Amino acid sequence: NKLYAAKDGYNYAYQTVEVLTTTTTITLELDSDNNPVKVSLDRPNDNTQFPEGAAFEIEFTVEGVMNTECALLLGLDSASFLEVYDDGPIPEDGPYIFTINPLPSGTYKYMIECTQGNSVASTETRSVLIGEPQADNAFNYEGSSDDLDAERELFDNALDALKSLSAKEQEFAKLLGITQKIRDAKRAAGLKGRDIFDLRYRKDLTAGEITAEEQKLRQELKYLVEETPISIKLEDSRTFVDYISEEELASFIENNEEALVESYGQYITKASFQKKLLAAQQSYTLKTKIATATIKYGDGQAEDVSIVTKQFAYGSNAATAGGEEESILEIIPKSVARDANELTIFGEHVVLIEDPVILFPAKESITYTIKGFVDMDDLEKVRSLLIPELVIEQGMTGYGIFGLDTLGGMAENWGMSLMTLVIFIISIFLVWQFGLIDQVKYLFWSAGPKTKLHYMRVLLNDIHDNISANNYDKALLIYKEAKLTYDKLATHTKNELYDEFIDVCAELDTSYLKRLVVEMDKALKEEKLAQAIEYYAKIEGTYDRLPEAEK
C-alpha cells in the first residue's frame, strides 16, 4: 500500500506503508507551518485592470529575508501552469518589487514564491487584466481553455513517455533531436494557443478577420503536431569501428573520377595523393552506430527509418576538428540509398555527388537517416573519408586546382641543387657583410606580392565563372582556397584585393540565398513546415550579410 500526501497545488509524495489491520493509524509529520520565510502580496489587488502597453509593478512583503530568493510566476489565465517571469535574491531592506514589462491584451494570473534553504513559501494566486475585453459578439469562441492546451498536453505526455524508453532508444532520440523538437513544439503550441485565446481582446480586427486568424493559427497547430516526432522504437542496432580500405578508396575514386576531379582537381587521381589520404585516416578514431527504428509523430502517423551516426575523435597530429579546411566525405552505397533525396541529414553539409556522397565539416559527429528499413549488413558498408587540411595544402591547393601541379615539370638534379645551395650560402654572407638586409627585404616584398596578387585574381575569376555556370559547390571550394591564400598575404596586398574579395563574397551569398529560396519553396509545397523554417533562418542570416546594393 502507498500513502500519498501533498500541499495543495504541489506534486504529491508517497511512502510505502504496511497495513496490519483495518484500523491501522498512520502519523504524518508536516512542517509547512514552520517555514522561517513568509511572503504575502501587497499590490495590485486581485483583478486589477491596466491599459495595454503599460508596465506595472507587483509589490510583496517578505518575513525572514536573510539569504532569501524570490521568483515571480506569471502566465495567461488559460495556461495549465505558471512560468518564471523574473527571479533572484531580494535585498534585506526592501522594497520587494517585480516590474512587469508591457504585455499583450489578456487576463494573466501570477504569484510570488520565495525560498530560504529548504524552506519554500508562496502567495495566493491573483489575476490582472491587460487591455479591454472585446464585446461578447466580436468573437464567438466556443472552446474552453483546456481545448487550447490539448497540444501542449500532447507534448508534455510525450516528454514523460521518453523517460520510459530504453537507454538506447533515449540515446537515439537525443541524436535525432527528438527530445529538443518536442520541447520546441510544446513552447510553440503554448504561444499559438495563447494567440488564439487572446483573439477575443483584439479590437483592431473585425469578426471575420478574427475567424480567419483563428483558422490560420489552428492550421499551424495542426502542422506542428504532424511534423513533430514524439517517440521512437528501435528494431535493431549495432556499434562498430571500421575504416575505408585502400581497395575501397581506389574503387571510389575510379567510379566517381569525373565529379571528384571537378571538385578537387586532377591531383586526386594520383596514387601518391591517395597514399596521403590513406595515411590521414590513421589520425582520427571513428565509432559508428547504426539502427533501424520506427518514429511516431504527434498525429499518430509512423515512419520507418534507418539511422547512421558517427563520432570522431581527432589525434594531436590531426587537423583540428571543426576547422574551415577539414572535411569528411560520407560515401553511401546504392544498396543503402539510391540518391541524396532518400536522406534526411542533420547539420551543415553539401551533396557532393547525388549517388550519394555527402561532404560534412570535420566536426565531432555526423548523423543522418534513410527512408525505410535498410539491411544492417548494407548499413555497415557506409564509409567515411577524412580529408584534413594537411592533405589539402600539399595535394590540392595552389595550381593543383587547375591541373598544373607539376609547375612546368621541373626535374631534380643533385649537382644543380648543390651549386644552388653554395650560391645561397655565399649570398647570405654578402648580404650580412655589407648591410643589404633592408634592400633585400624591399626587393622581396615588391616582387612576391605581384605573383600572389596575380594568383589571387585567377582564383577570384574562377569563382565568378563557376557561379555564372551555376556550379555553386565548386565555387565554394575555390573560395576556401582563396580565403586561405588571402589570410597569408601582406597587409598592403590584402588592401589591394579587399574590394574584389568583398564582391565575390557577396556574389557567393547571393547565389546561396537564391538556392535557399528554391528549397524553402519546395519544403512549403510539401508542407514540411519545420524544414521551411530552418531554410528561412538561413535566408535571413545570409540576407543580413549582403551589401545594400545586393539587397
What HEC string does 484-535 produce? HHHHCCCHHHHHHHHHHHHHHHHHHHHHHHHHHHHHHHHHHHCCCHHHHHHH
pLDDT of residue 417: 46
Cβ atoms of 368 and 308 closer than 8 Å: yes
Three-state DSSP at 282 gives helix
Backbone torsions φ then ψ of 30, nearest 5 degrees: -110, 135
Segment holding 89, helix H or strand E: strand 83-89
Cell numbers linked to 227? 511534423
Question: Is residue 13 within 8 Å of 5, Cβ to Cβ?
Answer: yes
Q: What angle do CA 218, 221, 226 make, to 5 degrees?
A: 130
CA distances from 250 to 243, 259, 277, 285, 304 (A): 14, 15, 11, 21, 34
Asked whether 268 and 396 are in contact (CB, 8 A), the reply is yes
- What's this model's pTM, rounded to 2 decimal places? 0.46
Please write the tens of the pLDDT for every residue from 326-359. Answer: 788 899 999 999 888 899 998 888 888 887 899 8
Q: Which of 342, 344, 348 has its CA nearest to residue 328?
A: 348
> How far apart (Å, rounded) are the C-alpha atoms in residues 197 and 214?
9
pLDDT by residue (tens digit) across 28-39? 666 554 557 788
Residue found under cell 524508453: 165
Buried b (16+ CB within 10 A) or exposed e, 46-55: eeeebeeeee
Length of the chain: 551
The pLDDT, as a whole number, for residue 133 is 58
pLDDT digits (tens, 9 = 90+) for 16-62: 666 666 676 777 666 554 557 788 999 999 989 998 888 899 999 88
pLDDT at residue 273 in the model: 74
What are φ and ψ of residue 279, in 5° steps? -65, -35
| Residue 390: per-residue pLDDT | 41
Q: How far is the C-alpha of 59 from the C-alpha of 94, rounded, in Å? A: 10
Q: Rounded to 5 degrees, what angle do the CA atoms 205, 209, 215 make?
A: 130
pLDDT confidence of residue 288: 92
CA angle centred on 81, ends 79 and 84, rounded to 5°: 110
Q: What kind and span of H or E run contains 535? A: helix 529-545
Low-confidence ranges of the chain (pLDDT < 50): 9-12, 33, 134-146, 317-324, 390-417, 438-449
Residue 372: predicted pLDDT: 93
Peptide bond into 44 cis (omega under 30): yes
Can you give the pLDDT at residue 441? 46
H or E stretch at 379: helix 376-379
Say if CB 231 and CB 295 are below 8 A apart. yes
Radius of gyration, alpha carbons of the chain:
33
Beta strand 357-361 with 38-43: parallel, antiparallel or unpaired? unpaired
Q: To the nearest 5 percent, what fractions of the chain are helix, strand and coil?
A: 45, 25, 30
Compute the distance between CA of residue 210 and CA of residue 200 in angstroms, rounded to an integer: 8
